[in-house]
Chain A
Amino acid sequence: MTSQVSSPSDQADEADEAGDRRGIPGQHGVEKEVRRLDRVIIRFAGDSGDGMQLTGDRFTSETASFGNDLSTLPNFPAEIRAPAGTLPGVSSFQLHFADHDILTPGDAPNVLVAMNPAALKANIADVPLGGEIIVNTDEFAKRAMAKVGYATSPLEDGSLDGYRLHPVPLTTLTIEALKDFGLSRKEAERSKNMFALGLLSWMYHRPTEGTENFLRTKFAKKPQIAEANVAAFRAGWNFGETTEDFAVSYEVSPAVTAFPAGTYRNISGNLALSYGLVAASQQAGLPLYLGSYPITPASDILHELSKHKNFGVRTFQAEDEIAGIGAALGAAFGGALAVTTTSGPGVALKSETIGLAVSLELPLLVVDIQRGGPSTGLPTKTEQADLLQAMYGRNGEAPVPIVAPRTPADCFDAALEAARIALTYRTPVFLLSDGYLANGSEPWRIPDTSELPDLTVAFATGPNHTLADGTEVFWPYKRDPRILARPWAVPGTPGLEHRIGGIEKQDGTGNISYDPANHELMVRTRQAKIDGIAVPELEVDDPGATARTLVLGWGSTYGPITAAVRRLRAAGESIAQAHLRHLNPFPGNLGEVLGRYDRVVVPEMNLGQLATLIRARYLVDARSHTQVNGMPFKAEQLAAALKESIDD
């Protein structure tokens, strides 16, 4: 959640296990202790084929419906089925949930579920000593361990001393639980992730109805498989309740006070962004047209929008990235709310068409779900390294507004804002999300549709200029003097026939013009239009106004930065925080805000792209703090880095 609630418990990972302890009798008379926690971080890890993302999604849904605040971090390889049992093939899903407002998927898991030796090896370094580790012992055969470099079994050689290890033969138990279902061993084994989910659901008192309904719906055409999965899920639950190894279960109360009143759901960034686009189309009264080419991690938006044809949404899967944006631009000429979705490599291919859209001055949303680069880079990992590409990556002077969401749920509002700018100013707009926001999820207060902004557009309907002889004519490049937008005259409107193109146009008439003075005027006018876009003032969070250091971020670093700032403040430090949604143009007060502080620190998941812009634009000695490991910042490390700047 994005609201600013200072919570002391966010200070440290190990501050969790305070609270009341009580015993309840288990089914078989075993006294099982229940501990109350304020937050937990769980990581499910297994082979790419083990269904860890599904397991994580289900646990997230249970947790969301229970009313905890939460934040998730799926992390998976680019290969669909990487070689089984190898380190590169490990897929994981981390979930942080709490009884209060939280901001990140958490730095270090309290609980690691490792479905095989590779999953253990790839993730153990992140688990602090004292953490709980649940391993599927069935997969710890000599060969499987040797494959990832375990000479001896980590379950027996003492290397896991200091952790609370729960060795569970998950595969055997699952097969045993499903022996009456008439499934082959291989089929039965596939439900082991549901067994693990059942066990974890018991450990954390999660509601189970949603998962059972989900399984029955998902496998509606294979009722036998559905019931087998439900049985494995229940067997996992019962295993926790009856086995002495699991002596303690945990309660994390709903985050009642963290949420403003309202109806909530859990939502990922790509889903929120898709909904934002549909909402923008409805609010604008224009049909939505998506021209796109599949690319990770943006494809989910194409998938989602293709489901909503009953909203008049047209999705066009093009032959390439260029055709994707080309078709969108064609639809924009025809009066649609046009969108293209892609990731960094796709933006590179679309650059020429974005330049044309700048020249044509037509509304167009370019959604870039950033991933690790350059080139193909890290398709499934996150990065913020397309900022300068979005800002400058075109030939000629081709300014494009840039909007960046800060959290998964915020992708909804950011999409509406990008649409507002595109439609109002008749310009392409970049919406810069990233892999972390796209796949991560958090609770979202579902807005009442009456709260959504009015995006209605007036198309040109008649002549807008009178010639010296009194003739009334239509000039496609005669601008609204207030905001410098040109009229949007769509084909089918009688009397407004006109031609537009990528060659420089004469001011007003839009006719081809190679006149030097006219080019100078047009270049400066296009720039002035973008510079003049109305964007909200930058808000600064500086309680007590005592801080001398400002941390300035943009995009998905909002969660980690805010968590780091809370830690510092809880430790008595003074630090101010501001976060940019608008990267072009910048908020009008940004220069003034920067001038208020002795030090400005800019954390980014790139090598300092916003810092470069800030330094160039405001002549501020901004300090870059950067990370490009494909993962979001960890709050703890970020807090340490910010502390250095404060103390400097």
Chain B
Amino acid sequence: MTEVSEMTERAAGTTGPTEGAGPAEGAGPTEATGPAAEAAGAAERAEGATAERAEATAEKAEGARAAGGAVKVRESLTLVPKAQGAQSMKDFKSDQEVRWCPGCGDYAILAAVQGFMPELGLAKENIVFVSGIGCSSRFPYYMNTYGMHSIHGRAPAIATGLASSRPDLSVWVVTGDGDALSIGGNHLIHALRRNVNLKILLFNNRIYGLTKGQYSPTSELGKVTKSTPMGSLDAPFNPVSLAIGAEATFVARTVDSDRKHLTEVLRAAADHPGTALVEIYQNCNIFNDGAFEVLKDKQQAQEAVIRLEHGRPIRFGADGAKGVVRDPATGDLRVVQVTAANEADVLVHDARGESPTTAFALSRLADPDTLHHTPIGVFRSVDRPVYDTLMADQLDAAVERGGKGDLAALLTGGDTWTVIG
């Protein structure tokens, strides 16, 4: 008890809840986009956005229409109010003591996220982190934003409810390989196909950490763990392949230890309108240490890591000696030694291609056992209408069509009779 109250005091000193925009000042956006305001008039829903943002939205929508699509796309987070002043990483650290094992890859990810958040420039009260259960799911406690540590596997469902009812929020889901792909597999695939405005960070350490070391749905076949003394029998999921198969509009992979790359991927995910899935290879130094060492060791990484960059030829290895080409016979992708003769055949990465076929093929390049030829970066990033925007649009359309709901008229309905007392 003492310990906690000390921490609270410390926090009070550092985060200063009374600093900045006090609640009394109301911070326009909060008032206008609050739920109460919404009940009062669905049509006024987007009013919380500043005029600038509204304009940006309109422009974007017009652009989409001009491009020939009836599809209406809003830029991600345009409805989320901006921060009043400058932010720093410190603003996003909560007062809670971080309790992951020393050396856990989660620390690096937390630092990267806290460091990246100020870049978004969003009002931090409009940012929410929702997690499930597992080591990684303690994440929200360490972010000085709104947060919910929910139940095993269900974070995407809970976050869907929050994001689809509050377009003024930036909602992030933090989950692990067991949480997202085992107990919560159903919610993950449905969030992806709906394209809710969620950013899902999937910490993949290929093991169950919090329950002390059972194999996970991403563990390699034959994995010897406490629950599989003779080796696991089930083929693992490839999260990127799964997400692409589930109609995801944004799928990326990065590594906990590469802060620069991790931050770039987070930036791309944040910019994406709709559900973004970011698989983060994360080291569990207690139960699965070194699982991704081949991707981190400078020497080995040359052979193992393929960095995907939109619009650039897919080359890797020392001096880009290797490249990815399409096999004309099968249409599949394979790795070749790049020569003057075949250089023109090297695939140019197109994350925005309409068809997911090539992105899927890229996701199959890595050897699941050795992790050789593991692509990292953004596999796929395409525009598709965002679920919560469509939902809000239907509310607006209903008001346009039938006027704002009138309770007395609803209750009265059609066939009535009157009894005179």
Contact = CB atoms under 8 A, between A and B. Distances in A.
Physical interaction between A and B: yes
B50 interface: no
A248 interface: no
Contact of A497 (B124, B162, B395): B124
A515 to B, nearest CB: 6
Given A492-B125, A501-B150, A330 B160 contact: yes
Given A309-B394, A471-B13, A264 B419 contact: yes
Interface residues of A, number: 91
A492 B141 contact: no
Interface stretch (A20-28, A61-69, A613-621): A61-69
A447 to B, nearest CB: 7
B148 to A, nearest CB: 6
A334 B35 contact: yes
B418 interface: yes
A462 interface: yes
Interface in A257-295: 259-266, 275, 278-279, 281-282, 284-287, 289, 291
B23 A446 contact: no
Given A210-B415, A501-B148, A506-B1, A327 B164 contact: yes
Interface in A493-522: 493-503, 506, 509, 511-513, 515, 518
Nearest to B40: A285
Nearest to B404: A310
B225 to A, nearest CB: 25
B54 to A, nearest CB: 17
A327 B125 contact: no
A332 B418 CA distance: 39
A323 B151 CA distance: 11
A262 B418 CA distance: 6
Nearest to A502: B151
Nearest to B131: A501
Q: How large is the interface on B (under 10, 10 to 19, 20 to 34, 35 or more residues)?
A: 35 or more
B126 A491 contact: yes
A447 B411 contact: yes
A319 B186 contact: yes
A4 B297 CA distance: 83
Interface stretch (A138-146, A222-230, A352-360): A352-360
B379 to A, nearest CB: 24
Given A279-B407, A323-B187, A506 B4 contact: yes
Contact of A335 (B27, B34, B127): B34
A18 interface: no
Given A64-B415, A511-B96, A492 B33 contact: yes
Contacts of B418: 262-264
B36 interface: yes
A181 interface: no
Interface string B384-408: 0000000100110111011111011
B412 A462 contact: no
A494 B22 contact: yes
Contacts, number: 297
A558 interface: no
Given A281-B39, A497-B146, A323 B190 contact: yes
B22 A495 contact: yes
Contacts of B165: 287, 289, 314, 330-331, 334, 336
Contact of A467 (B9, B20, B96, B186): B9
A463 interface: yes
Contacts of B125: 491-497
B340 interface: no
A317 to B, nearest CB: 11
Contacts of A512: 96, 141
A157 to B, nearest CB: 43
Most chain A CB within a 10 A radius of its CB, from B34, B148, B404: B148
Nearest to B163: A330
Interface string B114-127: 00000000011111
Given A275-B411, A334-B166, A495 B150 contact: no
Contact of B417 (A264, A318, A323, A473): A264
Contact of B22 (A259, A284, A311, A462): A462
List 5 A-B pairs, minimum CB-CB distance, nearest first: A261-B421, A501-B149, A330-B161, A327-B161, A326-B157
Interface of A: 61, 64-67, 210, 256, 259-266, 275, 278-279, 281-282, 284-287, 289, 291, 308-314, 316, 318-320, 322-323, 326-336, 338, 352-353, 356, 360, 446-449, 459, 461-463, 467-469, 471-474, 490-503, 506, 509, 511-513, 515, 518
Interface of B: 1, 4-5, 7-9, 12-13, 17-18, 20-24, 27, 29-30, 33-36, 38-42, 81, 94, 96, 123-128, 130, 133, 140-141, 143-151, 154, 157-166, 168-169, 186-187, 190, 391, 394-395, 397-399, 401-405, 407-408, 410-421
